[in-house]
Structure 1
Amino acid sequence: MKGRQFLSKVFRRHSSNSVYLKEKEIATIPKYLHEYLFRTEAPITAVPCKVKLELPALQGNSLQDHFGCISDTLVGEYFKLLEEGTVVFEKNVELPKTWQMKTGWLRYTRDGRHPEPVPYPLEDVFVFDVETCVSRGQLPTLAVAISSEAVYGWCSEFLLNDSKYPEHTRLKHLIPLGGKDISRIAIGHNVGYDRVRSQEPYHEEDSAIRFMDTMSMWIPISGMADHQRSMYEVDDLVLAEELMTYCAMDCVATGKIYSKLWPKFKERFPSLVTLYGFLNVGNAYLPINRQWNDFFKVNEETCENKKVTAAQAIVTCAKLLIEENSNGSAAQNDPWMWQFDWSLDKKQNHPGWFYKLFRKRALVQSDISNLVSEDVVTKSAMIPAIFGMTYGPYPVYKSKSHGWGFLVPTSIRKTVQDQDEDFNIPSDSIQEFVEKNMKISKKVTLPLAATVRFRGCDFYKLPHPSGRGNVGDILSKMFASELDEKLLKPSRYQDQFEKVLMSLRSTRFWTSYRERYHSEIPVWYEKEVGTDNDLVGAIAPAIVPAGTVSRRSVHKLWVTLTNSAVTPPGFKLVGADVDSQEQWLAGLFGDASAAKSLPISERRAGVTPFSEMMLVGTKSNGTDLHTVVAKQLGISRHNAKILNYARLYGSGERHAELFLIQSGVSAQNARIISKNLFALTKGTLSRWHKLNKVLLPLVHRFNNSGGKLEFIGFGGDFYVPAYSNLQCDTLIDFEKYVTESLRSQDNCSIGTEDIVQFMYENSAQPHFLYNGGYESATFNFLEQESQKKLLRTPILNCQLGDSLAQLPDEAPDRDRFNFKYRRSVMNWLVQSSAVDFLHLLLVCMEWLCNEYSIKHRFVISIHDEIRYLCPEEEASRLGLALMLSNLYVRAYITEKVGISQLPETIAFFSQVDCDKVLRKEVDSPFTNPDGSTVENGVAWTFEDLLKHNNGTLRKIK
């Protein structure tokens, strides 16, 4: 244990900027679980067993073998079909010269015989493409499938009969593909679009057909891609035949693309677990009821009502402003309204600016209560002026050249320089207002130089959230936090302003989601449920299984979809959120890298401060990372948490500085805090020499004899400070010590220069490493991995895509490219490893549910959360299966990176949710569109589920 204790002490001595971290013993899973999972002797940190679980036998000799075996069982047949498809689809395909336009599927064989009607494509692997008529709706109009034996054409009854689309979509309106019990594969480009127009994804019992998306194959291999096909008008059947040929040619092209991609896919993603993820992440199924339609109606009405309220509020305040400034000179001295036309109209006696609030001049005379949203201009520079908006204590102003900013009287600025422009700004009234407002407003740190200097006032541009450009709208989503924190706020008519702000936010949300909502296809089952004859149906969302280079799944309507999912009677939604998934992975990678310097028997999780805080630190006693950082830097825990996550994803000191400034910290303090933050967490980047491993005992002896040489254990190697490091003097002393030691051992004369060369690996090229921070080990791992020419995830060996991979040595601007995208590569490594985690979890859940005959249906996975649908009586068994899946997956990952033990704190989910609806927390208030409320769900702990199931997944009679 001496090696581990020494390494731990080194980390704590040099990892906290003079803040000593007391090493904590990290409890690990009980002895019987450890031996079952790792097949090694349990460590002394194993906790006592309270209730013993009945567990299934593992397949193979290790967890690594086990996951290989179960993934082969689950996806092996699909793999064979995909292999077969590579051979089939690379060949040229002869398409039918003419298409018969009949409802349903027609099969065109290679021998040219008369096409025959079939219920669905007969072969088990085929390329598939669907066309729609977007001017009429989202239902399929034409489809083509190509297999090894035939070409298939499908035609909708709505095309042939020119009939209206139904009010409620039924299964019969979609395309049948077969595969209820037999493994089948439909291959397509952006195949999620085609999947949602097929029958099988909507079946209440999951079908065996799966969809392979060539776009998802392409994105993580070579970069982003997009593809969407739509048929706009079909006027006659001749045109329809042409479009059928076009659709078939699309299939041919997709088949050839697939044939080229599949060999690369196997090479880049060698694990069958990854293939299972590709085929099943997109196999989502969301149960819905009548509330789906009500949701749209209620949102439309609510949005419109808020827009009307906002329009009337604006006009009300504008009229009040006119009354309060009936004296012309008073209007010219208003800190905001001085810039607008106050000349009165002779007929109606309104100032010129008032007319510009209305879409039509005649509406000026309308009664306010009769105005609707379309009558009033709700987006203009007049709106903030009417409400007297301020940034901190200063009135806002919109410059034609520089966008939105704020005005600071030069007497408050204390320095007066030549004026760049001459405006009739009421600087005296502005100064009077600012002096009063300073007592009740948030402090704003002024930049060193004004953007523009007016007579009596300086104009400062508002900082754009992106860091560049002019601000065009201070009431936009980009300034939501400033508005919430009252850094931006109205100085008058506050109650009416709240109505306007709420309307803008609601309108933004619903405008964004209205069209996306209509792009979904709710399919309703032909049966009655309950006493209200309520509609029951499902949505099969068009998910892109790997929509980013890190293989994260993507869907354009997550929020609306999840809030609208409701279980049918007798069913429950069971799921969990993976606790701090990406932070745990990053900390584990740091541990594993550091632990490689230790004997295998002494490697453990939590050897580095970042990982230890993740595993045993708690918010309640102030030992979690966010609280520790907040205390050390004197900032709020909330801000520390935001900065900690941003840093993990590659943000630098400048980003932290800008965030702190936007949070109200002065520029000077923000710079200091940001610098201290990175020194405290990431550490200091400096040069280090890789030490010859045989000399490590001499490092221990040197330090035990009074020396103070720092070293870093990283990736199985040891590093000591380079000459340019602050520890230069100590390093020279160490070299003398080594020289003397070697000479005395060898009893011969060795030149000092030769010994120095022997001590280090390529001393002329030192390594850049972080040291002295909580997260130094993690960032050393991420930095070093990001520089690999062939980078793969540590868990499932998935390879980095070409768009971010290191350029060849001979490539022009190679170093510039690699440096520019280094942070993106580090981010990829963490996020892509999190996707590995999800795919392992899906595989393990399917194995356990099959093993114990637990009825279930995968619903959806959104990054770090996963949800299933099951009969109510199966809910607790499914919940226990989720808990155990987390155990298996975490154990698999820790063992894969070289640590054969599992901390108790992360072995199981903190809770598994059981609910009737999808919501963030089971006790979050949930109101249906009809105004009724949904009772709270249940959050089960591991102990709860053990009691419910008597410690077994077997069904108890």
Structure 2
Amino acid sequence: MATAVSARHWYSWVSDYVLEDKFRWAKTPQLKDLIPLETKQGTLSPPGGKWDPRLVIGHNVGFDRSFVKEQYMIQGTELRFLDTMSMHIAICGLTSFQRLLHNASGKDSHRKEIVEHANKQKLNRRPSSDEWKKISSLNNLRDVHQLHCGGEPIEKAIKDVFVKGSMADVREQFQDLMTYCATDVQATREVFLKLWPEFIERFPHPVTLAGMLEMGTAYLPINDAWPRYIQHANSTYEELERELKKLLMALADEACILLQDEEYKNDPWLWDLDWSTSAYRLNKTGKNLDNVTDPFEKGDDNSNKFPSSLVFEEGQEALEEYKRVIRRVYSTASRVPKNPTFMPGYPLWYRELCPRPRDVDFYPGPSNISTQCRVTPKLMRLVWDGYPVHYDEKHGWGYLVPFQEELSPMEIELRSQESDPQDQHRFPLQAFLSFVQNSKPPKNCSLNGNNGEVGSPDAMDLLGRDFDARAMELEEKLPLLEAAKNKKLRRIPEHIGVGPYDVGIPGVRFYKIPHKDGDHNRVGNPLARDYLLRAEDGTLTASPDAHADRALILGRMCSYWKNNQKRIMGQMAVWLNKSELNKNITRHSDYEPEGLYGAIVPRIVTAGTITRRAVEPTWLTASNAY
């Protein structure tokens, strides 16, 4: 449904699908389903055979234009569209940073830009000013009308019926919904009357207005290549996704083998996964064994379950031994549980990647693995700037950097008394150091701590040379132990990053992978879209293993379509019949009667920024495809 108002009349339009129940097997609308603004229903020519110059004013009118019937005719019309939202943005719109501040007002935001702005205000000792909020607003009609016209805010709650409701809900609340549409039209008119004088004063040159009107006529003709492109992109994406899943499953299988002889304990990535296994559990031995079936007894069908007479070269004794073994196996049938243990002998992290046989989408092996799984970066043995990645529950994803702290003999003894020897040897420090030295040799820093920077005096010096730690009671050691635990790191590592953090792993320090929204945020997945550029420049790499390296490449290849598929497939393509096409097309030598011909009307905001640059999320966005 749609409403409009002119200097003399109110107009409304309602689709046939609202008036009566109709059903049609079609994924896209046809020309007859759209709003006829310049032609009568069922016709393609204007009354009198001439297109009259007209102007349609609306808020975000590019969206409304995509539902106008005549805008899909390739010959074009004299109708133009003027966007009050673009006028508002050009006059008193918000910058991208101001929009962030506006949305974050009243919230404890940790976005990088907002935190830096707040710190700069504190550093300069300037109170934050919100005066700009009084002369600007967000771009939606409710806020724009409130800014320029005042009065009661426009009620928008009933709009959810269009989004979440059914066609029956629309029919039931028809009058309220039509009133809502008319209220929006009235508010748009009031906004235009306020903005127009200021717009002409601010931008007196006719090129500004002419450019906005011309940009609002964007038209994209399409043919068979459009659905073929979507189909080819989807099939290629699915093929790459299948290959990626197979590679990740292979990495999981290879890592699972490390359970043998506990080889995973020497892996700098896999050492902290849950390698616990479950044994196969049998029911307790039954007390009544009289009901055990003898497999060699004759059944009701007068046939043996097993041959009663078998000829063995070894003779009758071999046959009897064979029967005894079979009977012993059958006697354990009652011990088999109704719900057997799922994948006994496999580590827990591997079992979590495997669907159960009764699942609808069951596929043998670790088929639930994907790039979103927390275990995947470890299986791929990702490396950030030459250091193995690591996940910490508190800090998120980061990487481990070698570190050796200079401690006094007193501190070494106190820490050794407190720590568990098993925890000290759990992390494969030697394997880690060997990998780092081979992949990223130190420049001016050795790992033995000889050139560390010394901070406060040693505890031994404070207590005197005659101090004997072994003569101290436990109560006397506790304060020194607490001081040693909380003491700042004495040696500053060469590496510069978001850190260091002590995560309880001896010999290393944890650095967070930088987050686009600031260092306060945790990185949830180093394989996300925001880090694909880091894979391009070599900051983020995978193991030299062919599977891992190929998986990282496939992840980059799939990222573009994964992030843009919904937006591209959501384009409203309208296909035209031969009778709806211009005669210049149907008479052309390249015209194919069996081909598809149609158009997409881009929903452009003609002045989407304060610099009056046109904005559209698909066609006017620079592609960062990989």
TM bin, normalised by shorter chain, reads: 0.5 to 0.7
| Deviation readout 1:714-761 (Å, 9 max, x if unpaired) | xxxxxxxxxxxxxxxxxxxxxxxxxxxxxxxxxxxxxxxxxxxxxxxx
**Are residues 1:382 and 2:378 paired?**
no
Contact (CA 8 Å) 2:389, 2:398: kept in 1 or not?
A: yes
Q: Does the alignment pair 1:225 with 2:139?
A: yes
Closer/same/farther in 2, CA of residues 550 and 217 from structure 1, 3 Å limit: same
User: Which residue type is aligned with residue 257 of structure 1?
Assistant: V
Q: Work out the CA distance in 1 between the residues paired with 2:555 and 2:238.
A: 9
Aligned to 2:271: 338
Q: RMSD of the TM alignment (CA)?
A: 3.4
In the other structure, the counterpart of 2:312 is: none
Alignment equivalent of 1:405, drawn from 398, 403, 410: 398
Query: CA 1:863/1:520 → structure 2, altered by over 3 Å: closer, same or farther?
Result: closer
Query: Match for 2:255 among 318, 321, 330?
Result: 321
Classify the secondary structure of the residue corresponding to 2:260: coil
The corresponding residue for 1:868 is none
Partner residue of 2:496?
447
Q: What one-letter code is carried by the residue in structure 1 that aligns with 2:139?
A: A
1:155 aligns with 2:14: yes
Q: Give per-residue Cα distances to partners, 1:142-175, cap 9 Å, x unaligned.
A: 1111111111111212222321256253322211
Report the CA distance shift for 1:325/1:409 in structure 2 as closer, same or farther (over 3 A): farther
Find the counterpart in structure 1 of residue 429 from structure 2. Answer: 427
Write the mapping of 1:68-217 to structure 2, written as runs, cut at 5 A.
Answer: 142-165=1-24, 167=26, 169-178=29-38, 181-217=51-87
Query: For the structure 1 residues 365 and 546, does the alpha-carbon distance in structure 2 shift closer, same or farther, using more than 3 Å as the test?
Result: closer
Pick from 596, 599, 602 the counterpart of residue 538 of structure 1: 599
Label 1:505 to 1:476 Cα distance change in 2 as closer, same or farther (>3 A): farther
Shift of residue 466, structure 1, vs aligned partner:
4.2
Counterparts in 2 of 1:247 and 1:181: CA distance versus 1, 3 Å: same
Distance 1:400 1:237, change over 3 A: closer
Task: Output the CA distance in 2 between the equivalents of 1:301 and 1:533.
Answer: 24
Q: Gaps spanning 5+ residues in structure 1: where?
A: 1-141, 559-861, 865-918, 925-957
Change (3 A) 1:353 1:147: same
Note if contact 2:59-2:84 (Cα within 8 Å) is conserved in structure 1: yes
What corresponds to 2:532 in structure 1? 480
1:457 counterpart residue number = 508
Partners of 1:456 and 1:204 lie apart in 2 by: 70
Question: Going by fraction, where is strand more abundant, 1 or 2?
Answer: 1
C-alpha spacing 1:531/1:183, structure 2 compared with 1 (3 Å): closer
- Cα contact 2:4–2:11 (8 A) shared by 1: yes
**C-alpha displacement of 1:259:** 1.0
Counterpart AA for 1:186? V
Normalising by structure 2, we get a TM-score of 0.60
Q: Which residue of 2 aligns with 1:711?
A: none
Distance 1:332 1:281, change over 3 A: same
TM-score w.r.t. structure 1 length? 0.40
Say yes or no: does 1:354 pair with 2:224.
Answer: no
Q: What is the deviation of 1:337?
A: 0.6
In the aligned structure 1, how far is the partner of 2:228 from the partner of 2:82?
34
1:522 to 553, 558, 573: 573
Distance in 1 (alpha carbons) for counterparts of 2:611 and 2:24:
39
SS at match of 2:388: strand
Distance of 1:247 and 1:354 partners within structure 2: 55
- Give the counterpart letter for 1:218 in structure 2: H
Percent identity of paired positions between Structure 1 and Structure 2: 31
Match of 1:391 in 2: 384
* Residue pair 2:244, 2:551 contacting (<8 A) in 1 also: yes
The answer (yes or no) to whether the contact 2:607–2:615 under 8 Å persists in 1 is yes
Considering only CA atoms, is the larger Rg found in Structure 1 or Structure 2? 2
CA separation of 1:498 and 1:414: change in aligned 2, threshold 3 A? farther
Say if 1:365 and 1:205 are closer, same or farther in 2 by CA, change over 3 A.
closer
Preserved CA contact (<8 Å) 1:543 1:554: yes
> How far apart are 1:214 and its partner, in Å?
0.9
Report the counterpart of residue 239 of structure 1 in structure 2: 173
| Change over 3 Å in CA distance of 1:366–1:543 after alignment to 2 | closer
SS at match of 2:538: coil
Q: Is 1:397–1:406's contact at 8 Å kept on the other side of the alignment?
A: yes
Higher-RCO chain (CA-CA 8 Å, sequence separation at least 6): 2
Letter in 1 for 2:224: R
Deviations 1:6-55 (A, max 9, x none): xxxxxxxxxxxxxxxxxxxxxxxxxxxxxxxxxxxxxxxxxxxxxxxxxx
Change (3 A) 1:160 1:247: same
Cα distance in 2, alignment partners of residues 143 and 387 from structure 1: 54
- TM-superposed CA distance for 1:273, in Å, is 0.6
Aligned residue identity for 1:338: W
Contact 2:60 2:83 in 1 (8 A): yes
Conservation of the 8 A alpha-carbon contact between 2:89 and 2:610: yes
d(CA) in 2 for partners of 1:301 and 1:414? 58
| Residues 466, 242 of structure 1: alpha-carbon distance in 2 compared, 3 angstrom cutoff | closer
Aligned to 1:253: 187
SS of equivalent to 2:271: helix
2:233 to 292, 296, 299: 299
- Say if 1:190 and 1:215, in contact at 8 Å, map to a contact too: yes
Output one character per residue of 1:890-938: Cα deviation in whole Å (capped at 9) or x when no partner: xxxxxxxxxxxxxxxxxxxxxxxxxxxxx99xxx9xxxxxxxxxxxxxx
| Match runs of 1:592-611 below 5 Å | none
The answer (yes or no) to whether the contact 1:310–1:499 under 8 Å persists in 2 is yes
Partner SS for 1:153 = strand
Q: Does 1:285 align with 2:244?
A: no
Using the TM superposition, give the Cα deviation of residue 400 of structure 1 relative to its aligned residue in structure 2, in angstroms. Answer: 1.1
Q: Residue 355 of structure 2 contacts residue 363 of structure 2 at CA under 8 Å; is this kept in 1?
A: no
SS in 2 for 1:314: helix
Whole-angstrom CA distance in 2 between matches of 1:214 and 1:242: 25
